[in-house]
Amino acid sequence: MLKGLSGLGDMAGMMKKAQQMQQDMADMQEQLENVTVVGESGAGLVKATANAKGNLTALDIDPSIFHPDEKEVVEDLILAAIKDAQAKASAKAQSEMTKITEGLGLPADFKMPF
């Protein structure tokens, strides 16, 4: 008589998993604020620190590279360090996301739409 309702248990389970994933995602986003990565260029003469969300939090430049005639080199080193930090932040965030998606039985390379 209630044969058509047998899928409701599965639906409830899926809803519960979706809610858990939403909470896990919110927790991960908060944690990424506190995880730091350091990008470097010029053999460590320029270091850019960012959180795992990609927000730059610090920049350290060795004073030995400050020569007025090498302004463009210094600018390039700064940009390279920032890009390196952002790439590392993105990789760290993706690594954390993979932990969540694998826990839900999704493929390791699954990309969330946000």
Percent of the chain with pLDDT over 90: 46
Residue 74 confidence (pLDDT):
93
Range with the lowest mean pLDDT among 48-52, 96-100, 108-112?
108-112
CATH architecture label of 32-107: 2-Layer Sandwich (3.30)
In this model, does residue 114 exceed pLDDT 60? no
pLDDT (tens digit per residue) in 51-99 = 988 899 999 999 999 898 999 999 999 999 999 999 999 999 888 888 8
**For the chain, which residues make up each domain, given as ranges?**
32-107
The three-class DSSP label of residue 4 is: helix
Short-list 90, 97, 77, 88, CA closest to 21: 97
